[in-house]
Amino acid sequence: MTQKNQQIVLARRPAGAVDERDFRLVETEVPEPAEGQFLVRNLYLSLDPYMRGRMSEEKSYAKPAEVGQVMVGGAVGEVVASRHPKFKPGDKVEGPFGWQLYALSDGKGVRKIEERGIPLSAYLGVLGMPGVTAYIGLLDIGQPKAGETVVVSAASGAVGGVVGQIAKIQGCRAVGIAGGAEKCRLAVEELGFDACVDYKAGHLDEDLRRAAPGGVDVYFDNVGGEITDTVLLRMNAFSRIPLCGLISEYGRPEPRGLRNVRSLLVNRIKLQGFIVSDHLQRWPAALAGTHQVPGDRCGRAAERARRVHRDARRQEPGQAGGQAELRLSGGAPRAHPQAGGCRTATDRAACRRRRVRRTRGGSRAAPRGLPTPATTPIRRGRPSPVPRTCRNRTCRWR
């Protein structure tokens, strides 16, 4: 094979915010698979907030990335050569292939993707680790009940966007928190949130009080820091907090920590951190629960989300979270757009009109379909337990 392999390696450990100089692009020979291995050409790379922790030497739940080695990360690609009995050329696969154009694998941690007309990028989003994270964190730990208010930070991101949709399916009021008016518009109009608070507007507490007048029953925390401190003041008694991430802390030399800890005591709040890889036994149910056939309509919303996050990163260099695009030559991998929905602008307007007509008082009706957490099996004949946001009869993905 004459084409070169292109790799992004960790050049040094970041001090504070991640800088372009922390990485290096190198070219190597494309490897040949040995017996029991196969060669994958990556098509999409996932860039996730957890990777900031992997760049650090601090003790964590996973081994840190090594300086001088290919940066770790999930990817979707196509098998181009194989000496493995279970994988053949042409197979589409998802696995921990790292930030590189070509990768060798022995099949460990790799899943084969069935061709269903679903965009491959979805297997790094709603049908991949972010979707499973949203499902397990919200349903197993948050345990939302119909009529409750669910607040999600980083609401326009890969995990937060799915959390909001599942909350709506469960019959909850979904309130997002995001940075900037454009991200909030995306959360409401594309992802179906009932409301979204722009924390950059400077009056988070006041806006959150208006968006969640009855208080907060479940807070899906992706960011920590000042935002979490503010939400803690709005939590109801016996509320739940699935702690998924601490994006606001990742680039800080010293952790800020929480100040409104008293709320945890007086409101008897359950706060539980979780790592999705600790729940491997739940992955099949979670993947089934988040599965739908998005098609090209989802791709439009997802591309819009990618542009919003890219523009925000340009304004705030060094911020962790979301997706960054790797521009490698020769048809190299593209970054996975980490959020999406299933509606065009026309579909969204039609959906809203139908929901308003069918719902007393003009409020949106929550979609149906997701099973109760952990114990409810997915049975044939029941509505598909997926985060659907399009109820338009004319929509091909209805």
- Domain extents for the chain? 4-119+322-335, 129-279
Q: Among 32, 41, 20, which Cα is nearest to 100's?
A: 41
b (16+ CB within 10 A) / e for 219-242: bbbbbbbebbbbbbebbbeebbbb
- Residue range 19-41: average pLDDT? 94
Spatial separation of the C-alpha atoms in residues 210 and 218, rounded to whole Å: 17
Q: Who wins on pLDDT, 185 or 354?
A: 185
Inform me whether the pLDDT recorded for 137 exceeds 80: yes
pTM recorded for the entire structure: 0.72
Inform me whether the pLDDT recorded for 239 exceeds 90: yes
Two structure tokens written together for 291:
């599965």
- Residue range 319-332: average pLDDT? 40
Domain 129-279 belongs in CATH node 3.30.470.30: no
Q: Who wins on pLDDT, 336 or 246?
A: 246
Name the CATH architecture for the domain at 4-119+322-335.
Answer: Alpha-Beta Complex (3.90)
Least confident of 235-249, 276-290, 341-355: 341-355
Task: Note the pLDDT of residue 1.
Answer: 54
Least confident of 7-16, 104-113, 226-235, 358-367: 358-367
Predicted confidence band of residue 76 (pLDDT cuts 50, 70, 90): very high
Task: Note the pLDDT of residue 48.
Answer: 85
Task: Note the pLDDT of residue 56.
Answer: 83
Inform me whether the pLDDT recorded for 321 exceeds 80: no
Task: Note the pLDDT of residue 194.
Answer: 97
The three-class DSSP label of residue 221 is: strand
b (16+ CB within 10 A) / e for 101-111: bbbebebeebe
Match 């094979």 to its residue by tokens. 1
Predicted confidence band of residue 296 (pLDDT cuts 50, 70, 90): very low
Tell me, rounded to whole angstroms, the distance of Cα 360 from its chain centroid: 33
Predicted confidence band of residue 386 (pLDDT cuts 50, 70, 90): very low
Q: State phi, psi for 184 to the nearest 5 degrees.
A: -65, -40
- Residue range 291-300: average pLDDT? 40
**DSSP label of 56:** S
- Residue range 174-186: average pLDDT? 96
Task: Note the pLDDT of residue 303.
Answer: 52
Two structure tokens written together for 298:
């989802």
